Amino acid sequence: MATMQTRNPLGPNDLIASHFTLTGTPAPNPPRFSFAQRVAAAAAAGFNGVGFFIGHWESGMTAPQMRRVADDHGIIVAEIEWLTDWWCDGARARASLDSEQRMYEAADALGARHLSIAAVALGEHPDPRAVAERFAALCERADEHDLLVGIEFFPGSETRDAGAAWDIARYAGANGGVLVDTWHYFRGAANPAHLKAIPAERIVAIQFDDADREMIGSLFEDTTLRRRLPGQGSFDLAGFVRQLDELGVQAPISVEILSPEHQSLAVVEAARRAHDTSRSMIARARGG
C-alpha cells in the first residue's frame, strides 16, 4: 500500500515545479516550452520535482523517454494531474475512468508520487457518502500503482474547503487525502481548525502561491490569471508553513504560479523566480 514514504519519497523540504508554473501559456493551453526544456529549467533552479498535466502529452515523446530526461536531470515527475468527473455516472464516469487509466500508465512509467484530482463541481454533489465511496474506490485503484491521491478543494465548488475535502477523503485508504493549495485555502475559509482536523499523514501535497489582497473580476479569473509569487501578495504564507510544521505535515510543496506576467518569462527565469521566492518564504517561516 502506498504511504507518504512512497517509491520516490519527497518531504517538506522538497519543492516541485507544478506543471502550469513552467508552461509559458495560460492554463489549460498547451505549453510553449518542451518537456525537456521545463525539466532542465526546474533542475537548474533547484527544484526536486516537476508536475505533469495528462492533457499535455508531448507529440512524439513516450513516457519512458520522458523518464530518461527527468532522470538525467535528477528530477522526479512527482505530480500527475488533473482528474475530473470522478464522482459522475454514465458517459462522464466512463470518460473519467479512461483518463484515470492514462494517468496510471504515465505514473507507472514516470515514477510519480501522487495524483491531483478535482473538487466536486458546484451543483453536482450526489449523496455525500456516495461521493466518499467513489473517492475511496479511486484510491484503491491508485494504490495498485503505488500512488497517493489528493482531492483539491476549491471555494467555488461543492468541495469548498479543507473540511469538506476531508469529509470525502476520511473514508479512503491510507493513500487518499487532501491536497491543500494556498490560493484555495486563503481565498476560501482559511480555517486552521480544518487543517488541524486532518491527520498530518493524510495531507498529500501542498500547492504554493500568493495573491493580491483584493480579488479583481470573477473567482475563475482570479484563480487562473492572478496567482503571485510567494511574498508578492497578501497571504500569510510564513504562518501557513509554520502551522503545517506544527501539525507534523511531511508533504512536499508544489509551486503553482499562473499569471500573464509569469507566463511571459523565459522558462529558465520562470523556474528561478518560482523556486527562489518559495525557498525564501519557507526559510523565513522556519527562521532560516
User: Rounded mean pLDDT of 187-201?
Assistant: 97
Predicted confidence at residue 50, as pLDDT, reads 98
Per-residue pLDDT reduced to its tens digit, 152-172? 999 999 999 999 999 999 999
pLDDT interval class at 220 (50, 70, 90): confident
pLDDT value at 7 more than 90: no
What pLDDT is stored for residue 219 in this prediction? 84
Q: What's the average model confidence in pLDDT over 136-145?
A: 97
9 belongs to a structural domain: no
CB 205 within 8 A of CB 254: yes
* Proportion of the chain above pLDDT 70, given as a percent: 97
Mean pLDDT over 75-97 rounds to 96
C-alpha cell at 163: 473540511
DSSP 216-250: -S-HHHHHHH-PBPTTSSS--HHHHHHHHHHHT--
Angle, CA 260 vertex, CA 279 and CA 237 arms, to 5°: 30
Q: Which pLDDT band, with edges at 50, 70 and 90, does 5 fall under? A: very low
Is 2 a member of any domain?
A: no
What is the torsion angle, in degrees rounded to the nearest 10, for the CA atoms of residue 120, residue 123, residue 126 and residue 127?
Answer: 100
Q: Rounded to an integer, what distance in angstroms lies between the CA atom of residue 66 and that of residue 118?
A: 25
Q: What are phi and psi of 240, to 5 degrees?
A: -65, -45
The mean of the pLDDT values for the chain is 94
Domain with 243, as residue range(s), is: 15-285
pLDDT of 288 reads 67
Q: Which of 153, 97, 82 is nearest to 121 (CA)?
A: 153
Strand partners, 117: 83, 151
For residues 259 and 277, give the distance between their C-alpha atoms in angstroms, rounded to a whole number.
Answer: 15
8 part of a folded domain: no
In a domain, residue 6? The reply is no
- At 262-281, the pLDDT tens digits run 999 999 999 999 999 999 99
Write the CATH number for 256: 3.20.20.150
Q: Is 148:109 a contact under the CB 8 Å cutoff?
A: no
Number of domains into which the chain is organized: 1
Which pLDDT value is given to residue 60? 86
Can you tell me the distance from the alpha carbon of 49 to that of 107, in angstroms, rounded to the nearest whole number? Answer: 14
The reported pLDDT for the residue numbered 88 is: 94
- pLDDT digit string, tens, across residues 41-58: 999 999 999 999 999 998
- Residue 154, in any domain of the structure: yes
Q: Would you report the helix, strand and coil content of the chain in percent, each value rounded to 5? A: 45, 15, 40
Q: Strand 148-152 relative to strand 176-181: parallel, antiparallel, unpaired? A: parallel
Q: For the whole model, what pTM was predicted? A: 0.95
| pLDDT at res. 8 | 59
Q: Give the type of residue at 57.
A: W
**5: Cβ–Cβ under 8 A, 6 or more apart, which residues?**
none
CB count within 10 Å of CB 130 equals: 12
| Residue 10 located in a structural domain | no
Q: Does the structure show a pLDDT above 70 at 138?
A: yes
**DSSP notation for 87-103:** T--HHHHHHHHHHHHHH
> Tens digits of per-residue pLDDT, 224-250?
889 999 999 999 999 999 999 999 999
> In this model, does residue 2 exceed pLDDT 60?
no
Q: Is residue 7 part of a domain?
A: no
Average the pLDDT over each of 3-17, 198-212, 254-268 and give the range with the smallest value.
Answer: 3-17
Residue 56 lies in a domain: yes
**Contact indicator for 146, 108 with CB cutoff of 8 Å:** no
pLDDT of res. 1? 55
Comparing C-alpha atoms, which of 97, 142, 148, 87 is closest to residue 119? 87
